[in-house]
Structure 1
Amino acid sequence: MTRVKLCGITTPGDRDAAVAAGADAVGVISDVSVDTHREVAPEAAAELVAGTPGTVTSTLVTMPDSPEAAAELVGRVRPDEVQVHGMSAEGVAALARAVDVPVVAAVGADDPDATAYARAASALLVDTPSADGGGGTGETHDWTRTRAVVESVDAPVVLAGGLTPENVAEAVETVRPFGVDAASGVERPNGEKDRAAMRTFVAAVRGA
């Protein structure tokens, strides 16, 4: 069964709604170099993680300056896993050696180093990155390219980038990923998570 991560959680209410919708994982964003309304301070991230039920994976999403900075943040937030953007494969490998939680490496669908990242990380997240390397663009990419990544690496692959309740079933059928990740696709215009959209998104994945 394809796993579902609902990302960009900023409040306990949104976290609890994501859990109630059936999410397998919730993502909390902290210490990123891009301008996003989804970022929270490390202290708030730690509180959101601490309140996540043990049956749901808490994911710290970050764009660290170094493996050491990422490891320090992991120690402060104490997530079940950490997802890193903008880090080299060598940096991901160093982070994986420094922490006792799985490391998910974010890559683009056309990243020539996807295989190296797959060797360094516990899993890959294939996203539609912005020019500054961040995710959460709300834009899709060519899913057949992500399917090629799925077929070429041994690590689990999570599909992200512009997924919505309306297109996620097609995405799952095309890519056959280990998991899918949504942020903007389940948000209201004011940035709050849309409860109905989260439920519909999870149901669409389960039915795919």
Structure 2
Amino acid sequence: MKRCEWVTDEPIYISYHDKEWGRPLYDSDKLFEMLCLEGMQAGLSWITILKRRENYRQAFDHFQADVIAKYTEEKVNQLLQDKGIIRNRRKIEAIINNAKVYLEVRKEYGNFSDYIWSFVDGKPIINAYEKHEDVPAFTELSKAMSKDLKKRGFKFVGETICYAFMQASGMVNDHLIDCFCYNDIRKDEDFD
């Protein structure tokens, strides 16, 4: 079975690639989680975060923004002691900050999904890359998303992080055209 070139032989990575990456995600809370996790990846590899995802879910109350937005300095200090996550104060504080901003966006748009998917007019962009080297690190759309998220007050949402988020959440299908997921996702979403 042919997969994208970036997938290693680690079972957690194979499962993530086959079942999640690039598949359109419309659940607002799951999108918030993914945006937070992509921000945690800054300066690290995705596998580093993926292996800790369950720990992050436990540590951050399953990414319930209403709960996270009320975290105190005491909770921050507790998280800084949690060996199951990346213990970086700026990143931890960014999740708390982003939860507050997320709640504001939810108020304005009714839900986060409508807001974030508006950058691609509510429909995934289907790319057609043959080699991993052809896939960009960012695009004009990820720059626009980054700019708007930053303007609203989100942290750790640069253009590269935003593009990785767009790929992960299926806003763009960047599976290589010879990867079995490429057409599988297209078929699931009935884009033809």
TM-score by length of 2: 0.31
Which structure has the bigger radius of gyration?
2
Which of the two has greater strand per residue? 1
Greater RCO, 1 or 2 (C-alpha within 8 Å, sep 6+) = 2
Which one has the bigger helix percentage? 2
